[in-house]
Amino acid sequence: MIDKEKKQAYHKEWCERNKDKVAIIRKRSYEKNKEERLRKNREYYYKNKESVLNQHQDTKEERKAYMKKWREENKAYRKEYQKEYNIKNKEQKKKYREENREATRKIEQKRLDEWRSFFPAEIHCEMCNKRLYFNGKNCNTSMYLDHRTGNDAPIKYKPSNWLRGHKRTPETEKIFTECNFGILCNNCNSFLPTNERSEFLKNAIRYHKIIFKEWQEHVEENNNDTIVDNVDSADSISSK
Ligand SMILES: [Zn+2]
């Protein structure tokens, strides 16, 4: 017994003398048992959620600070928990999305069918005159709505999506007509930029004139039959 008291007294004295060492040991032990302690805290928290929350609900600021600290300390746990939760709910989400997607697709198709008669029965590309189809399955023969007047049209982004999303009514027809969309094929549409189109076309024509002039000079020099044929086809392109 005396030995025990002696030991305790010595220990106390040693701790007093070696405060720095004690701090290091305590810190090590704290780090070592951190996970385990946090786990126990979490368990306690979920078992006694109500009382714990009340305990920390003295003021709004205190509560906020507590939650912030809790989130910081449980970052890894929260991440893990979210991961598990996501996996658990993945199937359910997928199923829900698929059901929803099917319903949405049906509504969109119904709206497109309503809009079909708004366009001429026979649609042609306004640039190359290719025969096109409304809501066609093949992108080479589908019609594309072009922002002819730039981005100041009331329908800014993807007119075909707008048609899918809007019931055909006199009001929506008016909005659509105001946009003055051009009808183009996939090919012509992809060559024409919406922004600064006039600038682009001016540059394109200037470029074409230079090339064409060089080409003509080249032909005149060679005076070759096959090249003359090519010039004819180049001429027909330029006249379009
Ligand atoms: Zn075209």
| Residue 240 CA, ligand 1 centroid: distance in Å | 12
Same domain, 206 and 218: yes
Which among 121, 107, 120, 115 has a CA at the least distance from the CA of 169?
115
Domain assignment present for 188: yes
Q: What's residue 222's pLDDT?
A: 78
| Residue 233 CA, ligand 1 centroid: distance in Å | 18
Domain assignment present for 106: yes
Same domain, 163 and 188: yes
Domain assignment present for 26: no
| Residue 129 CA, ligand 1 centroid: distance in Å | 6
Average pLDDT over the chain reads 83
Q: What's residue 29's pLDDT?
A: 83
Helix (H, G, I), strand (E, B) or coil at 154: coil
Same domain, 84 and 175: yes
| Residue 191 CA, ligand 1 centroid: distance in Å | 10
- The C-alpha atoms of residue 32 and residue 20 are separated, in whole angstroms, by 18
| Residue 105 CA, ligand 1 centroid: distance in Å | 28
Domain assignment present for 15: no
CB-CB contact of 155 with 175 (8 Å): yes
What the block records as the tokens of 162 is 């707008």
Domain assignment present for 210: yes
| Residue 131 CA, ligand 1 centroid: distance in Å | 9
| Residue 185 CA, ligand 1 centroid: distance in Å | 4
| Residue 142 CA, ligand 1 centroid: distance in Å | 10
| Residue 113 CA, ligand 1 centroid: distance in Å | 24
CB-CB contact of 197 with 152 (8 Å): no
Domain assignment present for 74: yes
| Residue 145 CA, ligand 1 centroid: distance in Å | 12
Same domain, 89 and 206: no
| Residue 199 CA, ligand 1 centroid: distance in Å | 20
Same domain, 90 and 147: yes
Same domain, 206 and 133: no
pLDDT tens, residue by residue, 92-123: 878 877 888 888 888 889 999 999 999 988 99
Same domain, 122 and 181: yes
pLDDT tens, residue by residue, 76-95: 888 888 888 888 888 887 88
Residue 229 above 70 pLDDT?
no
| Residue 146 CA, ligand 1 centroid: distance in Å | 11
Same domain, 162 and 213: no
Domain assignment present for 52: no
Same domain, 211 and 174: no
Q: What's residue 238's pLDDT?
A: 42
| Residue 147 CA, ligand 1 centroid: distance in Å | 15
Number of domains making up the chain: 2
Handedness of CA 143, 144, 145, 147 (dihedral sign): negative
Same domain, 147 and 217: no
| Residue 75 CA, ligand 1 centroid: distance in Å | 56
pLDDT tens, residue by residue, 121-166: 899 999 999 999 988 788 889 999 999 887 778 888 888 889 988 9
| Residue 227 CA, ligand 1 centroid: distance in Å | 27
Domain assignment present for 202: yes
Confidence category of residue 26, pLDDT binned at 50, 70, 90: confident
Residue 94 sits in which domain range?
A: 70-195
Phi and psi for 70 in degrees, rounded to 5? Answer: -60, -45
| Residue 172 CA, ligand 1 centroid: distance in Å | 27
